[in-house]
Amino acid sequence: MNLSLSPLPLIVGLALAGAIFYLVRRNHLHGPYAAGWLALAAVIIVVSIWPRSIDWASQLVGIYYPPILVSMLAIAALLLKSLVGDLERSQQERSLRRLSQKLAILENELERLKRGEALPPASHDDPD
Amino acid sequence: MHPSDCLIVIPAFNEAATVAKVVAGAREATGSPVLVVSDASEDDTVAQAEAAGARVLALPIRLGAWCAIQAGLRYARRHGYRQVVTIDADGQHPVSALVDLCAALADSDVVIGTCPQRLSVAKRIAWAYFRLLTGLRVVDVTSGLRAYGEPALELLVQREASLLDYQDIGVLLLLAAQDMRIDELPVAMSEREVGKSRVFSSWLSVTRYMIHTTVLCLAQVGRSAPPAETEMTST
């Protein structure tokens, strides 16, 4: 029995890595996200070349049914990814709200300037 | 304080039917400039408000009631106003209360215009629950009739306040954490113009609101005020 190489995961890992590089190259994927996806591809490639690594890692952390380690790690990674996504979305929401407010304020000032009104000098720095 | 130091801020989402009357009433009652913040209204709220003599901020996307008000607060600070009074655009608040609220700011950082007879049993229970949870001693936590003094303005224009959704407990907690003095002023409200509440419009939205606000309250437990000076100079 050949335990040294499993071709399917290897293909998946290489395809994922290729796809990520392609997306970055085409400017569809923001750099920092690419690093995480490439790390995942690297793990898949390592595991496909050396399947025993899962048994070894399971023993290391005291799990006696190695496949469950893979599932657990996958679920944990998804949860983490989803939480980080929500955090980033919250920050984006905050920025979007503040930009919209600022846009409305500047639009008001621009209209008034166009009408020839004098504006008071900005009395406080408006935090972005 | 001179009327021109105070800005009246009216958040409005599709309030074309009533906004002009509120603007005219507020201008007449106070002599202060009036700013209507249209929360991406789809009707002619903006035109009505401008025709009635208000300045208008038109938000490009819908941000919710609090962030519309915050846009007004940012405008006020940028333009050197020292007080802001907020009032709903649906005409449920009497404009005669605006001057009293401004005057009450002499002793407080925030004054809330409370309309006790407006509160239904459900609301009374809900507010009692939130008082218990937060330790705030405020009767009507969602009243849209509020006056903010200079220290409160300086705090509320910050980024920290931009993820809040309603002008209610979240805002009050932020103020209380900085030891701001919050007072209430009973205000008589005209019966015929009692408007519909955005929060209390359906059981689903009530439930969502209660859960949302409970989480907000619980997350604040044990959060002490940072030294006032470092926080205040971070603008």
**CA A124, chain centre distance (Å):** 37
Predicted pLDDT of residue B34: 96
- The tokens describing B68, both together, are 């519309």
pLDDT tens-digit readout, A15-41: 999 999 999 999 998 888 899 899 999
pLDDT tens-digit readout, B36-54: 999 999 999 999 999 999 9
> For residue B95, what is the domain's CATH number?
3.90.550.10
Interface contact flag, B159 A103, Cβ < 8 Å: no
Secondary structure element (H or E) that encloses residue B114, with its range = strand B110-114
Mean pLDDT of the region B11-30: 94
B66 close contact with A: CB closer than 8 A: no
A122 close contact with B: CB closer than 8 A: yes
Which residue type does B175 have? Answer: L
Interface contact flag, B80 A123, Cβ < 8 Å: yes
pTM metric for this prediction: 0.83
Predicted pLDDT of residue B199: 59
For B183, phi and psi rounded to 5 degrees?
-125, 160
Query: Domain spans of chain A?
Result: 1-50, 62-114
Q: In chain A, whose CA is at the least distance from the CA of B164?
A: A94
Interface contact flag, A97 B67, Cβ < 8 Å: yes
> Which residues, in sequence order, are CB contacts of B139 under 8 Å at separation 6+?
B114, B116, B119, B127, B184
- The tokens describing B221, both together, are 């437990």
Q: Tell me how many domains chain B contains.
A: 1
With beta carbons less than 8 A apart as the criterion, state whether B130 and B177 touch.
no
Mean pLDDT of the region B165-186: 88
Nearest C-alpha of chain A: how many angstroms from B135? Answer: 27
Mean pLDDT of the region B190-216: 71
Interface contact flag, B67 A126, Cβ < 8 Å: no
Residue B170, number of CB atoms within 10 A of its CB: 21
Interface contact flag, A98 B37, Cβ < 8 Å: no
Interface contact flag, B71 A101, Cβ < 8 Å: yes
Whether the pLDDT of residue B234 is over 60: the answer is: no
pLDDT tens-digit readout, B188-202: 776 544 455 555 667
pLDDT tens-digit readout, B73-132: 999 999 999 999 999 999 888 899 999 999 999 999 999 998 777 677 877 888 888 888
Q: Give the model's confidence band at B151: pLDDT under 50 very low, under 70 low, under 90 confident, else very high.
A: very high
Instruction: Report d(CA A1, CA A84) in Å as an integer.
Output: 42
Instruction: Report d(CA B127, CA B140) in Å as an integer.
Output: 7
Task: Number of A to B CB contacts under 8 A, please give it.
Answer: 68
**For chain A, what percent of residues have pLDDT higher than 70?**
95
Instruction: Report d(CA B112, CA B127) in Å as an integer.
Output: 14
If contacts are CB pairs under 8 Å, which of residues 79-138 in chain B contact chain A? 79-80
Which residue range is the domain that position B108 belongs to?
A: 3-232
Interface contact flag, A108 B59, Cβ < 8 Å: no
Q: In chain B, whose CA is at the least distance from the CA of A124?
A: B78
> Which residues, in sequence order, are CB contacts of B39 under 8 Å at separation 6+?
B11, B12, B13, B59, B62, B63, B64, B65, B67, B68
Q: Give the model's confidence band at B182: pLDDT under 50 very low, under 70 low, under 90 confident, else very high.
A: very high
> Which residues, in sequence order, are CB contacts of B140 under 8 Å at separation 6+?
B112, B114, B115, B116, B118, B119, B127, B184
Please report, in angstroms and rounded to a whole number, the separation of the first and last CA atoms in chain A: 63
For B58, phi and psi rounded to 5 degrees?
-110, 105
Predicted pLDDT of residue B229: 39
Predicted pLDDT of residue B210: 86
B233 close contact with A: CB closer than 8 A: no
Which residues of chain B have a CB within 8 Å of the CB of A93? 163
Instruction: Report d(CA B205, CA B182) in Å as an integer.
Output: 27
Which residues of chain A have a CB within 8 Å of the CB of B67? 97, 100-101
With beta carbons less than 8 A apart as the criterion, state whether B149 and B108 touch.
yes
Q: Give the model's confidence band at B216: pLDDT under 50 very low, under 70 low, under 90 confident, else very high.
A: confident
Interface contact flag, A107 B70, Cβ < 8 Å: no
Mean pLDDT of the region B25-38: 95
Which residues of chain A have a CB within 8 Å of the CB of B63? 97, 100-101
Q: Which of B154, B5, B138 is nearest to B83 (CA)?
A: B5
Instruction: Report d(CA B38, CA A107) in Å as an integer.
Output: 13
Nearest C-alpha of chain A: how many angstroms from B78? Answer: 5
Predicted pLDDT of residue B233: 35
A86 close contact with B: CB closer than 8 A: no
Q: Give the model's confidence band at A84: pLDDT under 50 very low, under 70 low, under 90 confident, else very high.
A: very high
